[in-house]
Structure 1
Amino acid sequence: MSWHLGRMAAFDLETTAADPETARIVTACVVQLGGGQPLSPATWVADPGVEIPDEAAKIHGYTTERARAEGRPAAEVVEEITAALGQVLAYGIPIVAMNARYDLTVLDRECRRHGLETLLDRYVDDVIWPVIDPFVIDKHVDRFRRGSRTLTALCQHYKVKLDGAHDSAADAIAAARVAWRLGATRPELATMDVEALHHAQIEWAREQAEGLAAYFRKTPGKEHQAATVRTEWPLIPHQRTGGDA
C-alpha cells in the first residue's frame, strides 16, 4: 500500500514569532487520520509565558489576554505534544507537517526551554522520521510553478478544502489532504515507500535552501539574508551556547 493511503499524524503549531529559535507555542494540533480509520484529533492552547505580538495575534486570533485565560501552562502543553508525536512515531506513523523544519524546531526549542526531554532524546535515534512535508515535496515536483507556496495556495492549487487558515487543527488536516493529493496525483511519489520519501526530502530540502540562499546573495538588499538560510530538514540542530545547561 502506498504511503498516502496509510495512517498519518498531521501536526501544526500557531506561535508567537516566525523565528523558530524564539517562537513560543500558542496553539497546537496532532490529528491522526487516514488509513480507513476515524479521525483522532488532539488540540492544545498554551499560555506561552510571554507577550504575544499583535501581528501574530492577528494571524491566529490569540491575544496575550486570551492565551492567559484559555491556555494551560506552556511546559505541560509542550510535554503533551511531544508525547503525542512520540507515540505515533513509535508505531511507525509518519508525521505530516507543512514546513516541518519550522514546527519541529519550535517544539525542540520549547522542550529545551522548559527543561523537558526532546523528541530526539526520548523516542528516536539521532533523527526524527518518518516525516512528510507538503511544502518540500510540492517545491520538488513542481519547481517552476510561479506564485505563493503557502498552505492556502497549495490547497487552492491541489483543490483541497481548508476549513480555516491559521487554525492549528484546520491547517494540520489541510496539510494531510495536500500530502494525500500529492501521492494520489504523482505516480513517482506513490511508488516510493515512506522511508525512501523521507530521505529524498532531506536532499530536496537542502537543494531548495541552497537555491534560496543563492537567490539572496545575488539580490541587492537581500544579500544578508543568505546567512540565515538553513539547509537541515526536518529539524534544525540545536546549537549549544554558553548559557545552555
Structure 2
Amino acid sequence: MSWINGPLAAFDLETTGTDVESDRIVTAAVVRLEPDGAVSAERTWLLDPGVVIPEQASAIHGISTDHARRHGVPASSAIDEITQAVVGVLHSGTPLVVMNARYDLSLLDRECRRYRLKSISERLGVEPSPVIDPLVIDKHVDPYRKGKRALHALCAHYGVSLEDAHDARADAVAAARVVRRMGEQHQCVGAMSLARLHDLQVRAAAVQSVSLQAYLRRTTNPAAIVEAAWPVIPRSR
C-alpha cells in the first residue's frame, strides 16, 4: 500500500524568527490525519519562549509577548513534550509531514540543546525518519514552476484549503493534505516506499541547496551559504 493511502502525522511550529540557532518556539502542533484527510488526534502548545517576541513575528502568527507570558507554559517543559510527541510518531512508523523540515526540526533540536534535553535523534538513536517535506518534494517534481512555494502557495496550486494560515495546527493539517495531493498527482513519489522517499529528499534537498546558493551568489550575496543537510541541520561545535 502506498503511503498516500495511509495515515499521516504532521508537525508545525510558529516562532520568534527564522534563525534556527537563536530563535525560539512560540506555538507547536502535532496532528494525525486519517486516509480520508480527517484529523483524528492532535496536540497543541503555547509557550512562553522566555524572550521578547519581535513585532514582525507577532504580526505573522498573532501571538504577542504579553499573551505568551500570561498564557504560555514554560518553554523547557513544553519542548520536552513536543519532542516526545514527535518521537512517538516516528516510533510508530507513521510518516511525519513537516513543511520546510530543515527549519522546524532543526529549531526543535536547538531548543532541546538550550534546555539540556535529549533531542529527537538522541531519543530515537537515529536521525528522524521517515519525514515528508512538501517544500522539498514540490521543488523536486516541479522544479521550473514560477512563483512562490510557501505553504499557502502550495495549497493554492494543489487545491487544498488553508484557513488560519500561520496557526500551527492549521498549517500542520494543510501540509499533510497538500503532500498527499502531491503524491496522488506525482506517482513518481506517491508510489515510493517511505524509506526510498526519505532518501530521495535527502538528495533532492542537497541539490536544491546548491542551486539556490549559486543563484544567491550570482545575484545578491557573493558569500551566501545555503545549508544542504536535511531534515536536520547539524549542530555547530
Normalised by the size of structure 1, how large is the TM-score? 0.94
The C-alpha deviation readout for 1:167-216, integer Å capped at 9, x for no partner, is: 00000000001111011111111210111000000000000000000001
1:236 is matched by which residue type in structure 2?
I
Aligned-residue Cα RMSD (Å) equals 1.1
Supply the distance in 1 between the matched residues of 2:222 and 2:64 (Cα, whole angstroms): 34
Which stretch of the first structure deviates more once superposed, 32-41 or 197-206?
A: 32-41
Secondary structure of 2:192's counterpart equals coil
Instruction: Identify which of 200, 216, 233 aligns with 1:236.
Output: 233
Q: 4+ runs of 1 displaced by more than 4 Å? A: none
1:243 is aligned to none
Matched, 1:22 2:19: no
- The 1-side partners of 2:76 and 2:8 are apart by 26
The answer for unaligned runs of 5 or more in structure 2 is none
Residues 1:179 and 2:179 aligned together: yes
Q: Distance in 2 between matches of 1:88 and 1:124?
A: 15
CA distance in 2, matches of 1:5, 1:231: 30
Cα 1:124/1:8, change in 2 over 3 Å = farther
**Deviation string, structure 1 residues 34-85 (Cα, Å, up to 9, x no partner):** 2467520100000000000000000000110010011000001100000001
Alpha-carbon distance, 1:124 to partner: 3.2
Please state if 1:72 is matched with 2:69: no
Find the aligned partners of 2:39 and 2:45 in 1 and give their Cα distance: 20
Could you tell me how far 1:113 is from its partner in structure 2?
0.1
Q: For 1:27, what is the secondary structure of its paired residue? A: strand
Secondary structure in 2 matching 1:88: helix
Give the letter aligned to residue 181 of structure 1.
R
Residues 32 and 124 of structure 1, relative CA distance in 2, 3 Å threshold: farther
In 2, the alpha carbon distance for the partners of 1:188 and 1:204 equals 14
Deviation for aligned residue 1:147: 0.4
State the TM-score, normalizing by the size of structure 2.
Answer: 0.97
Q: Does 1:139 align with 2:139?
A: yes
Equivalent position of 1:101 in the other structure: 102
Distance 1:12 1:181 in 2: 19
Q: What pairs up with 1:85-164 in 2 under 5 angstroms?
A: 85-125=86-126, 127-164=127-164
The answer to whether the 8 Å contact 2:31/2:39 transfers is no
Residue 41 of structure 1 aligns to which amino acid in structure 2?
E
What letter is aligned with 2:11? F
**Take 2:87 and 2:232, find their aligned partners in 1: how far apart are those partners?**
15
Asked if 1 retains the 8 angstrom alpha-carbon contact of 2:15 and 2:23, the reply is yes
Counterpart of 1:136 in 2: which secondary structure? helix
Identity of aligned residues (%): 50
> Structure 2 counterpart of 1:235, which letter?
V
